[in-house]
Structures are given as C-alpha cells and as structure tokens.
Amino acid sequence: MIAFAELLERLVFTPSRNAKIALLRRYFATQPDPDRGIGLAAITGELSFATAKPGLIRELAAARTDPVLLAWSYDYVGDLAETVALMWPAAPTNAAPPRLVEVVEALESAPKSALKDIVASWLDASDASVRLALLKLITGGLRVGVSARTAKIALAEIGGVDPDEVEEVWHGLAYPYLPLFAWLEKRAPRPDPAQAPVFRPPMLAHPLEDGDIADLQPADWRAEWKWDGIRVQLVATQGGRRLYSRSADDISSAFPEIVEAMDFHAVLDGELLVIREGRVAQFADLQQRLNRKVVSARMMADYPVGIRLYDLLFDEAVDVRPLPFDTRRARLEAWYARTRPARMDLSELIRFGSLDELMALRDGARAASIEGLMLKRGDAPYLPGRVKGLWWKWKRDPLTVDAVLMYAQRGHGKRSSYYSDYTFGLWREDELVPVGKAYFGFTDQELLFLDRWIRNHTVARFGPVREVEKSLVLEVAFDAAQLSNRHKSGVAMRFPRIARIRTDKPAAEADRLETLMALVDSKPAAAVAD
C-alpha cells in the first residue's frame, strides 16, 4: 500500500504525460503480484466496492473529529478523502499499513457491520499519504490525471509491444492480470482472447480546419452525417456479446435490447441513438439511458435506442480492418443485406461533386438537427487512434451566449484547490436563471484569474459551493440547446465551455433567456434509412 500511495502522490504532482507513463512503468515493473495488478485495476477504473461508500468515510471522520471543523475543512480542501486523510487523529498502534491485496479482500468479503472498524484500523496504521490512497481506493475517487489508455501504454513499454496489442487482450482478462504481466515479462505467450468479446481500439477523426479544406480532392473522399449520439463498438462472438463505448467502457447492461439484437458473429462500429418513429431524437434523451447499470422496461419504452452502422471491423472471424474503406463499406452493405439485424441501419453515404457542394451540406446540418459531417478517404484502412489525413470530422459552428457567473465549486484532482466548475445564468425579466455548467475551455492563466475573482467576490457559501456577485460575464460556447424539464430555465446546453471572459461587458448586458430559447434544437433529425 505504501508503494501505491507513493505512486498516486507522484502522479498528482507530475504534469508531463511521458513522466506519468515512466512512473507507472516503474511501479508495474517493480511491485509484486497480485498488488501491482490490483493497482492497475484501481487506476483503470476496474475496481468498485458495493459496501464502501463516501457516507461510511463521513461517519468515521465525524466520530473522530469535530464535525464543524470537518465541514469547514472539507469546504476549504474540496475533496472528502483528502480532508479526512489530513485530519484523521491516528491512534497509537504497532500495526503496519495493509497491503493492497488485504484491502481488496476485506472490502469484497467483510460484512458491512465490520467494515467501519476495519477501515479505522487501516487509517490508524497509516500516515497521511497512505490514508489518502486508501480512502481514494475505497470510494473509487482516483483522479490522478491518468487515463486507462495511459496505463496501457506504460504496460506496453514494459513488454516492448504496441499499446493496441494490450488493448486487444484487455477485456479478455480480469484483475490481478497475472497472464498479462507474465506475457509482458516474456514468461508466457500473449494471452489469447480466443472467442472472447474483446474491444478493439477505434479509429478516430481529426477536426477539419480551414487550412485542410483546400487540399481535399472530392473524388478521394466519402461523406457521412455526423450524428449527435455516442460512438459504440458492437462485438458479437461465439464467446459472448458486448456493447462498448469509444473509451472501452462496457455499456451492455444499459442497452440490453441492443445486445439482444446482436444475433450475429461480427465486430461493428456505429453510433448509438434514441430513435422514435423513424427519427433521431435529441442527445438529451439518450442521456436518460447513459451510465445506468439497470434499465427498466418503462425506460426502454420511453427512450428506444438503435444503432447507425458506420463500419465493419470483423466479418465473423475475418479481420477486415486492413482493407480500404470502400471495400469495407461494400462488405458492410452485403453483411447488412444478409443479416438485417433489428434496431440497426446503415449510415448514409452522401453524394457530392465539389467542395462547395460539401460545404453547403455542412452549413445546412444545424437546420436538419445534425452535428456535422464525417469525411473518410476511400482508400483508408481502419487504423486505431487518430491518424491525421485519413478521417476528418467537420462539425457545424458552435453557438455562443454571454452569461453571468452565478456559482462556483472546487474541481477534482489537480484542480481540487481551485474553483474551476462554474454555473452561469441568463436574464429572465429581472432575474438571473441558471442555464448551464462548464468546467473547461479556459487556459491555466484564466483559471487563476477566475479562482481569484471568485474568492474576492463570494457573497454566500453552501457547503463546497460559493455564490458570487452577479457581475462577471462569460462567453459560453455550446453545440446545441435542447428543451429540458430537469432545469429551472427549461433548457439545457450540449457541451458548454468557457470561450472567453468578458470583463469588458456589464452583467446587465448579458443575454436573456429568450435568446437561448430561440436557439433550441426543437426539430427531430433526419429520418432513419430503411
């Protein structure tokens, strides 16, 4: 546990991605089994403990510390685990900090009634650094600036293999990943996922910039609509069926009707959408289904989903990714005609003869409630990652409003000491109404300015949230506005981000709610193809 705590602490204070990879590589190469595999599972989000919740930590801390001091300290620090780790008044003990494997075994098997005493004994035996790592592990709050992909790159460097090789066996393994480490250390062959429904790294597109457009030769490119859903990978093999998000999260349980429809043997790339009466619904409807471990029959009826198919990666056991896009598309069309899977259709290939014609199609995307265009070279193989020059995404221009900052909250991880999460509003008559939240889009320098401004202009506090003077205007960019009964304003923004700090503009001149309502994407998108 000491080595794991040291790793987390170093990762938090290491800004360089390459340096983070080096730290991870050293940890995985030097720590024993099964602790290193458990550490890997924790960092990649593969661990969760049903009996250990933040409420348990609050109860423990309240029993050992002054509740008022704890509340004020939590407000200042902005992170429960860090607050408790620093405040915990450890009792004298001769016990050593637990090993990672001891922690996991106890959290998975100990009765809930005994868990408080067990966790308290661990905290008593640990210093502040180890306490923080323990609490982060227990509550699932590991935010150290490391993605699962970064950890897999570090693993690949140990074995001298391509990170995509690690990715392609990942979902056929379970922690503590003993076969994975044995392969990377040349003690065993590469784990064979065989017919396991494993995730394949997706091919991604670069944003099309103005300077790239002139170099496009229309005859070389194929165009498709860019739909406002989520990118998914459908994997159906003899070993099972899985629906994965673009970031390799298994979302099968949230969309059982899609998994049921995967009565075939193939790996497909597509877009997950809510579809009603043959038309694509707003992204806000799809959000009702996301991040759910269990979905009710009522939810499935209210928010029916389907897949718009983009690409074919495996046709039964045949890997077709090295083939050109045109060839894969022909095979996809033949596969679809042969299989006719329920809840799925083919993405339309859009015909165009010139760049001007293509530009006109893209400019009309908003009126059709479509996010933009995807451009793919006809001769492009399906390569993992973001390979520049083969696929482009050409989104419609963002919308903007000038809003007034109303509330701020501390961020997480590296931002836990800064007020970096902002709630902003627009005028409705003489009242400011919250219309959205944003926590990105600004530079580090702008973050320092905003944090200082918030501290100097706070008018009230509500736990970790500060209410501020209604005097700072922020230009907020967003992709779409949609009606929502979950918000007091009646409208929700899609991907809001801070575009500019408008210190030059008085708050009274910020936009009104009617301005945002006029931008609402109220029409259903284009009909689903037959």
Residues 257 and 363 in one domain: yes
State the CATH number of the domain containing residue 23.
Answer: 1.10.3260.10
Quick one: 159 exposed, middle or buried, by C-beta within 10 A (0-12, 13-18, 19+)? middle
Q: Count CB neighbours of 253 within 10 A.
A: 12
State the CATH number of the domain containing residue 424.
Answer: 2.40.50.140
Residues 343 and 258 in one domain: yes
Total residues found in the chain within this entry? 530
Per residue in 501-518, pLDDT tens? 998 888 999 999 999 998
What does the pLDDT read at residue 337?
96
| CA geometry: angle 71, 72, 75, nearest 5 deg | 90
Residue 19 lies in a domain: yes
Residues 207 and 302 in one domain: yes
What does the pLDDT read at residue 504?
84
Per residue in 193-249, pLDDT tens? 777 898 988 999 998 887 788 788 999 999 999 998 999 999 999 889 999 998 888
Structural domain of residue 79, as residue ranges? 2-139
Residues 388 and 446 in one domain: no
Residues 459 and 353 in one domain: no
Q: Count CB neighbours of 373 within 10 A.
A: 22
d(CA 360, CA 85): 58
Q: Of 370, 395, 420, which residue constitutes the final position of a domain?
A: 395
Cβ partners under 8 Å of residue 462, min gap 6: none
Task: Decide if 226 is catalytic.
Answer: yes
| Residue in the block written with tokens 């408790």 | 84
Residue 182 lies in a domain: no
Secondary structure string (H, E, C) spanning 85-144: HHHCCCCCCCCCCCCHHHHHHHHHHCCHHHHHHHHHHHHHCCCHHHHHHHHHHHHCCCCC
Residues 414 and 508 in one domain: yes
What does the pLDDT read at residue 294?
86
Residue 197 lies in a domain: no
Residue 193 lies in a domain: no
Helix (H, G, I), strand (E, B) or coil at 199: coil
Straight-line distance from the first to the last Cα atom of the chain, in angstroms, rounded to the nearest whole number: 57
Residues 276 and 208 in one domain: yes
What does the pLDDT read at residue 413?
65
Q: Of 379, 395, 411, which residue constitutes the final position of a domain?
A: 395
What does the pLDDT read at residue 367?
66
d(CA 120, CA 124): 6
State the CATH number of the domain containing residue 246.
Answer: 3.30.470.30
Residues 322 and 465 in one domain: no
Nearest to 451 by CA among 436, 466, 461: 466
Residue 326 lies in a domain: yes
Residues 253 and 390 in one domain: yes
Measured N-to-C along each axis, helices 148-159 and 17-30 cross at an angle, to the nearest 10 degrees, of 60
Lookup: tokens for 141: 């709050």
Strands 206-207 and 391-395: parallel
Beta bridge partners of 318: 315
Could you tell me where the beta strands, DSSP code E, fall in 366-430? 372-377, 385-386, 391-395, 399-410, 419-428
Number of structural domains in the chain: 3
Residues 366 and 413 in one domain: no
Inter-residue contact 484 to 517 (CB < 8 Å): no
Residues 370 and 503 in one domain: no
Q: Of 139, 162, 185, which residue constitutes the final position of a domain?
A: 139
Residue 162 lies in a domain: no
Residue 167 lies in a domain: no
Catalytic residue among 226, 388, 414, 488: 226
Helix (H, G, I), strand (E, B) or coil at 49: coil
Could you tell me where the beta strands, DSSP code E, fall in 411-457? 419-428, 431-438
The per-residue pLDDT string of the chain (530 residues; one tens digit each, 9 = 90 and over) reads: 899 999 998 988 888 889 999 999 999 999 999 999 999 999 888 887 766 677 788 888 888 888 888 888 887 777 788 889 999 987 778 888 999 899 988 888 888 788 888 989 999 999 999 999 998 888 776 777 788 889 999 999 999 999 988 988 888 888 899 999 999 999 999 988 777 898 988 999 998 887 788 788 999 999 999 998 999 999 999 889 999 998 888 899 999 999 999 999 999 999 999 999 888 888 878 988 988 888 999 999 999 999 999 999 999 989 999 999 999 999 999 999 999 999 999 999 999 989 889 888 888 877 666 888 999 999 999 998 888 899 999 988 788 999 999 999 988 767 777 899 999 999 998 899 999 999 988 988 899 999 999 999 999 988 778 999 999 999 999 988 888 777 778 888 888 999 999 988 889 999 999 999 988 865 544 444 43
d(CA 242, CA 256): 10
Inter-residue contact 99 to 35 (CB < 8 Å): yes
pTM: 0.71
Lookup: tokens for 496: 């809001």
Residues 284 and 364 in one domain: yes
